[in-house]
């Protein structure tokens, strides 16, 4: 079992920045691929960024490329999402997720085994 707790969401003006963090309870954190997803009202959950075990490979969705950086800290059992140049359309609940897949990063929600409770990001225009 892995418990994930997100933090760092909030209200920010367009063009601003936020840093989301996800703390994992498991001592086997390093054996999981991690991802950040988001879900806006009335829309499906979509991947924002994903990172493999050991940070060997990273994926960014096209709509955030150049504005977002995902990273993981194995010593602290955390995965972070630095978001810059935020837009109103980035408004959503952001979720951290862990996948037991051994193969690189994963981009589909069905490939993830554990989810955090989500943190709200609201970007005002």
Q: What is the mean pLDDT of each run of 10 residues along the chain (125 residues)?
A: 95 98 90 97 97 96 98 95 98 97 91 97 96
Task: Give CA torsion, residues 77, 93, 117, 1, to 10 deg.
Answer: -50
Q: In terms of C-beta density within 10 A (0-12 exposed, 13-18 middle, 19 or more buried), how is residue 50 classed?
A: buried
Looking at residue 27, its pLDDT comes to 79
Looking at residue 26, its pLDDT comes to 79
Output the six-digit token pair for 85. 């140049």
Looking at residue 71, its pLDDT comes to 98
Task: Give CA torsion, residues 112, 113, 118, 124, to 10 deg.
Answer: 0
Looking at residue 1, its pLDDT comes to 84
């Amino acid at each position: 079992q892995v418990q994930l707790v997100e933090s760092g969401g909030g209200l920010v003006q367009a063009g601003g920045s936020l840093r989301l963090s996800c703390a994992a309870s498991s001592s086997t954190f390093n054996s999981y691929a991690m991802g950040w997803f988001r879900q806006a009202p009335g829309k499906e959950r979509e991947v924002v960024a994903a990172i493999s075990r050991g940070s060997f490979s990273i994926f960014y969705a096209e709509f955030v490329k150049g504005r977002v950086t995902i990273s993981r800290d194995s010593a602290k059992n955390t995965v972070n999402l630095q978001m810059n140049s935020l837009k109103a359309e980035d408004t959503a609940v952001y979720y951290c997720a862990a996948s037991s897949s051994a193969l690189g990063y994963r981009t589909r929600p069905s490939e993830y085994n554990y989810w955090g409770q989500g943190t709200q990001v609201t970007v005002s225009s």
